[in-house]
Amino acid sequence: MGNRRRYLSFIVQLVFLFVPICVSAFDSDISESARSSIPPPRTDATSWLLTDVGTGMIIAAENADKRVEPASLTKLMTAFLVFREIARGNVKLEEEVIVSEKAWQTGGSRMFIEPGDRVSVENLLLGLIVQSGNDSAVALAEHLAGSEAGFADLMNQTSVEIGLKNTHFVNSTGLPHPDHFSTARDLSRLTRAIIQEQPAHYAYYAIPAFTWNGITQKNRNPLLDRDENVDGVKTGYTKSAGYCLIGSADRSGTRLIATVIGASSERDRANLVYALLKYGFAAYESHHLYGDDTVIVTVRIFKGKTDSAPAGISQGIDLLLAKGLGKELEAKVQLVEPLVAPIEKGREVGTLTLQLKGEPLLSRPLVSLESVPSGSWFSGLADSVRLWLR
């Protein structure tokens, strides 16, 4: 009996040792030294991902590259393409689209347009984004590409352009098809492209309701009513995909995207997305350290028309760190010496290293931000002596 009790006690200890490992297991782009000790919320969704828009870093994720059915999240790409053509001047918001029989017959969620109706592109976009209308998605696809199949080709070309690596579209709606798939990572990347590349049109995703044909439908994203910081993005559902939602919020200059695929109910998908957003804002903060072409140091130039030049980084640096860690950042500069003219603008002249708690976190090349041509023969001779004496 005593041996059996000791055996059971040993099993219980193993279980308790194992549980924290399971709970804390998640993917992240954030290095261990910069990561928060607060764990992300637990979820039973098929896959999920929390992204910082400014840096593009994944804060936390699970099954981010698992192939999933995107359902109506597909309409994010449909809207992205329409808004892109509007920005290019190829389509106008006010131009009319004649609704086809095919668009009218499309099943699932609807805007309730009728065959032969003349509907503006803007109203179809409202039906697409706010009401999640499959009929409006097909009408827009046919207007832009002549057919939904042709539009799907454009969707796939655009997927490659913006770096969606595990996505393939067959239709503009998200209705189930074995060759129509994506991942939480790709859908988050698409959402980030919408936010960053189409800021003038992003406000459409926060419109609370839209009325067409005498029928008012509320935006299906319940988080718009829950938190004023939430301003998008899109819901999705099919029986095979489960309940899906991508939400985005901005708080104090930090914008996050939370993607949940395959939740068990409408309520669960909303709660999971909201919990992820709250976690991200509670555990992390963004730091804008340097802008593009920021001068970091002035470097000594020998045998040049001038004896110094500004050096810096060509691309700005933004970091996402666990709250409170910003004060522990240090910047270290290492220069290539000596620097002898001529020096071309953009030439690498050293390295900038950011350290956190004394450990390297990020390195960027330092480049000359100005060109320095060779100086006179006399100044060159004088600097030759100085270099010899170094």
Spatial neighbors of 28 by CB under 8 A, at least 6 apart, are 35, 58, 59, 60, 61
Bond into 233 cis (ω within 30): yes
Is 264 labeled as catalytic in the residue annotation?
Answer: no
Tell me the Ramachandran region of residue 108: left when phi exceeds 0, alpha when psi lies from -120 to 50, beta otherwise.
left
Q: Which of 36, 109, 132, 286 is catalytic?
A: 132
- List beta partners, residue 363: 353
Residue 232: which of 207, 270, 205 has the closest Cα?
205
Q: Are 40 and 26 in contact (CB under 8 A)?
A: yes
345 given a catalytic annotation: no
Please list the alpha-helical segments (H only) found in the chain: 2-24, 75-87, 101-105, 121-129, 134-145, 148-161, 184-197, 223-226, 266-283, 377-389
Q: What share of the chain is helix, strand, coil (3-state, %, to 5)?
A: 35, 30, 35
Dist. CA 336–CA 339, nearest whole Å: 7
Tokens 């006399």 correspond to 378
Tokens 């899906």 appear where? 244
Q: Is-catalytic flag, 72?
A: yes
Helix axes 134-145, 121-129, angle to 10 degrees: 140
Look at residues 197, 173, 142, 163 and name the one whose alpha carbon lies nearest to residue 70.
173
Catalytic residue (one of 72, 109, 136, 368): 72
- DSSP code for 2: H
Which of the residues 47, 75, 109, 188 is marked catalytic? 75
Q: Which amino acids are annotated catalytic?
A: 72, 75, 132
